[in-house]
Amino acid sequence: MSSPVSFRVSERDVYIIIDAGTRPSEVKAEQLQKAWQASDYSAAKLLDPQMMAQTATKYAQHFSKDSNSSISFQVIIAEIFDADLNLQVSDDDMKVTASGIVGFGGKALTQEAIIAKLKEKKVTSGIQRKAIDALVEHTNEAPPGAELSVTVAKGKYPINGSNAKFKPLADDARKRVLRPQLREDGTADMRDLGAQVTVDPEQPLLQKIPPSKGRPGFTVFGQELEAHDGEDRDFKPGEGTRVSETDSNLIVADRTGMPSFNDNSVQVDDVMQLNNVDVSTGHVKFKGSVIVSGNVSEGMKVTCSGDITVGGYVDSAELYADGNITVRKGCIGRLLNSGETAEHDEDADDWIPDVSTKLVAGGSIWCAYAQYSCLDSQNGVHTDKQLTHCHVITKGQLAIGGEGRNARGKLIGGTIETCDHIYCGQLGAPAGTKTRIYWSLPPVDPQSLEHLKNMRAVLAKTLARIKVVQQGLDRCQTLEDGPKKLEYETKLKGEVRKLKARIVTTRTSIDSVLEAFENHPVLRTMVSKEVFPGILFIFKEKSLRIKEHRNGTMFLLQDKQLRVDSLV
């Protein structure tokens, strides 16, 4: 027996049809629902969730009014919807997100339809075929109304080329001293630092890795995004080295000696090796590098043109090196101004510790720890554990126990003068120990400095000349009145006017150059763990005091302003 219920579609509307003369008891809501689920249109969207119950009620009312009608009963119960596609382009034109919504009984999305929609938006580059296939599959397989969002087009960000780099190809004295030899039982012999690090003529020392080309990118609209090539830097062969005859990107040794590396330069030094520096050796002054396997004792001085490497301690002594200084164990000093007013002085904002241990390096300084020491370095100071009540002067980074967020060392008390970043795990101490950090602007390029120097020389010369001319005018007043006095006075006054105009112009030019020098990169002090009260940051006339305990914190010198940010 055939069912009295059928369905038909007109455009987007789905009609239910009940044969004329069918008794209401044969078409109750449950029966209509079963017929709907068994039909080819069951995926269409019902106008109302209770549509079958409403239809059964309407049909019963219709039958009671005209039970003898020969016309079938029909009413719209659902609509057919095709799958929907929405495209969203990111603000930077680097990504297109497509949201596909499964249709209700209508057509699924196709690759062709999606690509056509992208072309309408003028999206031509970075189209993701696999994402499009996923959308097509979703609108064919997922239940009606289900939504899926995928990235169907991706731009490519430009990749700037890397700058030229320099790779050391030999160990230096620092690596030697930080790598004690192993005994037969596997333990480290802290006194045995192994053989002296030496190189032979023609041995490769420093390799230049040339700058790389930048790789341009593009937006999803096909617009090219420019990339910058890496910057090149020159080799600087030092004493005892030269550029290889067969490879212009390689510096080789030109004699036997100990290599000393300093960024883009390397030199080979003669080496003096000592067990200790004390009263038995006297002060040491050597043209080359000095290796002390033991300690440098109180009151002693070591001066050299290369590197200084100390395997033990530096105790109230002074080290001066044109290269790098490495102290494996630590630097120990004491206050020299420790009188009755020492406590007051140490709490003053402008206190500079006068200490008994001093290290001055033309390169970098590395030590395990330091207390009451002056560390003066051109290229940065690195300590493994902590700095306590020290005076640090450097144009490079100060890193204590690592760099960036990995720094774990402690910086407690003393005065820091730098124009670069500072990294530590702990800044200050629970007792509120006064710790001062003086920030200055990074040095400017040599050409600008030379220009400034020349303008200042012109200004000084002009000021000296106007002083002489003014003295001549003063002497004019002692002459008798007459044509010669008038001529002389008029000439000198004219020259004074010209000199004053030149002074104004020169000073304006100097001010403009100095103002340009003030534009600086952001300087950071990154404290990874905690900051205690008593910290004072100073930049020129500006200051920032920390009066509360803080967790990880970033302190910034940005646009000549001191700022504090949480380290998240």
Please provide the DSSP assignment of 52-89 as one string. Answer: HHHHHHHHHHHHHH-TT--SPEEEEEEE-B--EEEEEE
Which two structure tokens, joined as six digits, stand for 107? 């057509």
pLDDT of residue 291: 87
**Does an H or E element contain 100, and which?**
strand 95-101
Which two structure tokens, joined as six digits, stand for 233? 């830097």
pLDDT of residue 342: 46
Query: What gap in Å lies between CA 277 and CA 285, rounded to an integer?
Result: 11
DSSP assignment letter at 360: E
pLDDT per residue as tens digits for the range 88-136:
999 889 999 999 999 998 899 999 999 999 999 999 999 999 999 999 9
pLDDT of residue 345: 61
What are φ and ψ of residue 451, in 5° steps?
Answer: -65, -45
Query: What gap in Å lies between CA 372 and CA 519, rounded to an integer?
Result: 34
Beta bridge partners of 309: 291, 326
Q: For residue 288, count other CB atoms closer than 10 A to its CB.
A: 20
Which two structure tokens, joined as six digits, stand for 421? 């970043």
Closest CA to 270 of 306, 219, 220: 306
pLDDT of residue 250: 92
DSSP string, 379-425: S-EEEEEEEES-EEEESS-EEESSSGGG---EEESEEEEESS-EEEE
Q: What residues contact residue 531 under an 8 Å CB cut-off, 6+ apart?
A: 426, 427, 428, 546, 549, 550, 551, 553
Exposure of 150 by Cβ count < 10 A (0-12 exposed, 13-18 middle, 19+ buried)?
A: middle
What are φ and ψ of residue 466, in 5° steps?
Answer: -65, -30
pLDDT of residue 341: 45
Query: What gap in Å lies between CA 554 and CA 568, rounded to an integer?
Result: 9
Give residue for tokens 């019902």: 46
**Contact in structure between 55 and 32 (CB atoms under 8 Å):** yes
pLDDT of residue 191: 45
pLDDT of residue 192: 45
Give residue for tokens 């003014």: 470
SS3 letters across 250-273: EEEECCCEEEEEECCEEEEECEEE
**Contact in structure between 200 and 256 (CB atoms under 8 Å):** yes
Closest CA to 23 of 39, 38, 7, 5: 5
Distances (CA, A) of 297 to 106, 255, 280, 435, 544: 91, 32, 10, 28, 39
pLDDT of residue 26: 86
Q: Which residues of the chain have pLDDT under 70?
A: 1, 173-197, 337-346, 443-448, 516-520, 568
Torsion of CA 117, 121, 125, 130, to 10 degrees: -30
- Read off the amino acid at residue 253: A
DSSP string, 317-336: -EEEESS-EEESSEEE--BS
- Read off the amino acid at residue 364: S
**pTM for this prediction:** 0.55
- Count of residues making up the chain: 568
- Read off the amino acid at residue 16: I
Q: What residues contact residue 398 under an 8 Å CB cut-off, 6+ apart?
A: 380, 381, 382, 392, 411, 416, 418, 420, 421, 422, 423, 424
pLDDT of residue 21: 82
Give residue for tokens 């080309």: 213
